[in-house]
Amino acid sequence: MDIKKIGVLGAGIMGSGIAQICAEAGYEVVLVDIAEAFVNKGFQGIVKNWTKAVEKGKRTAEDLEKFKALITTSLDNKDFKDCDVVIEAIVENIDVKKKVFKELGEICKDSAVLATNTSALSITEIGTASCRPQSVVGMHFFNPVPAMKLVEVIPGAETSEETVAIVTELAVKIGKEPVRAKETPGFIVNRLLVPYMNEAAMLYQEGIPAEEIDKAMKLGANMPMGPLALADLVGLDTLLMICDYYWREFGDSKYRASLALRNKVRAGHLGRKTGKGFYDYTK
């Protein structure tokens, strides 16, 4: 497939990162969210990253102008109608995703591939809602998207091999390394990483300070950042949602979420995005 235009639904941390790397690879991008403030924040974040790259001498001012011109923002999903691929990166809620994919199935052209950046949810369930499950696939990016090399490609039960091939090739063209995963909750990375972060939250609940836990894993296991700093980066609401999803899907008590994590989410402390999580980013 000759991909020219890519739609990205959701201008949050993941969606804006995906839009950024697609524009850098030369694709036209339509970035959509539900409110002007969200698309503006997402677009400004992208421009900030490019400005830093220019300051570091990794990009030129001309590159920046060229990339900026490739992105248009919108509040209307109908603007995806002529996109070859649409990548959804909205809230991790299966009902919201199903509603959105039903709409995408109606709006997008027949040849379009509809990808979801879900971190754990069922591709088959999302595909069924679209009424064109053969064209729906998981394309799971990692935070921060411009820096992380991996994309997990996850076929659902009805996804065609052609669809898998299109997003695998696209992942390479936007500078990523694709790995094919199976449709099991959390796929590969989050199946391993989420229980790890949750276990760190259990240690924190047992009274070990966040700084000590993170220092130990950085120095003792060569992790680039500690598990609680990573949890704050990922978003504590997302982490809790995935823990609860594992608990429901596997019915195994080893996936129970830590109370410390649940209480932070209840208090509205969701990590970096709200200014507080296991750490305070407001100071």
Pairwise CA distance, residues 50 & 256, whole Å: 40
- Transcribe 60-81 into DSSP letters: -HHHHHHHHHHEEEES-GGGGT
Q: Please report how close the Cβ of residue 55 comes to ligand 3HC at its closest, in angstroms.
A: 10
Q: Residue 179 Cβ, how far from ligand 3HC at the closest point, in Å? A: 13
Strands 5-9 and 85-88: parallel
Amino acid at 217: M
Cβ at position 260, least distance to ligand 3HC in Å: 18
190 binds ligand 3HC (CB under 6 A): yes
Find the distance separating the first CA and the last CA of the chain, reported in whole Å.
49
HSE-CB for 49 with a 13 A CA cutoff: 20
Other Cβ atoms less than 10 A from the Cβ of 36: the count is 10
CA distance 101 to 92: 13
- Which of these segments, 144-152, 173-181, 202-210, 259-267, binds ligand 3HC (CB under 6 A)? 144-152
Span near ligand 3HC by CB under 6 A; candidates 101-109, 137-145, 175-183, 254-262 = 137-145
Hey, which residues are catalytic here? Answer: 119, 140, 152, 190
- Cis before 133? omega within 30: no
Reading the block at residue 276, the tokens are: 């507080």
Tell the smallest beta-carbon distance from residue 189 to ligand 3HC (Å): 6
Instruction: Looking at residues 72 to 101 of the shown chain, list those that interact with ligand 3HC (rule: CB under 6 A).
Output: none
Between 77 and 190, whose beta carbon lies closer to ligand 3HC?
190
Q: By C-beta, is 90 or 108 nearer to ligand 3HC?
A: 90
Binding flag, residue 147, ligand 3HC (CB under 6 A): yes
Number of residues that bind ligand 3HC (CB under 6 A): 17
Per CB under 6 A, does 108 bind ligand 3HC?
no
Is the sign of the CA dihedral 81, 86, 89, 95 positive or negative?
positive
**Least distance to ligand 3HC from the beta carbon of 164, Å?**
20
Q: By the 8 A CB rule, do 166 and 213 touch? A: no
| Chain contacts with ligand 3HC (rule: CB under 6 A) | 49, 56, 58, 119, 142-144, 146-148, 190, 193, 224-225, 230, 234, 238
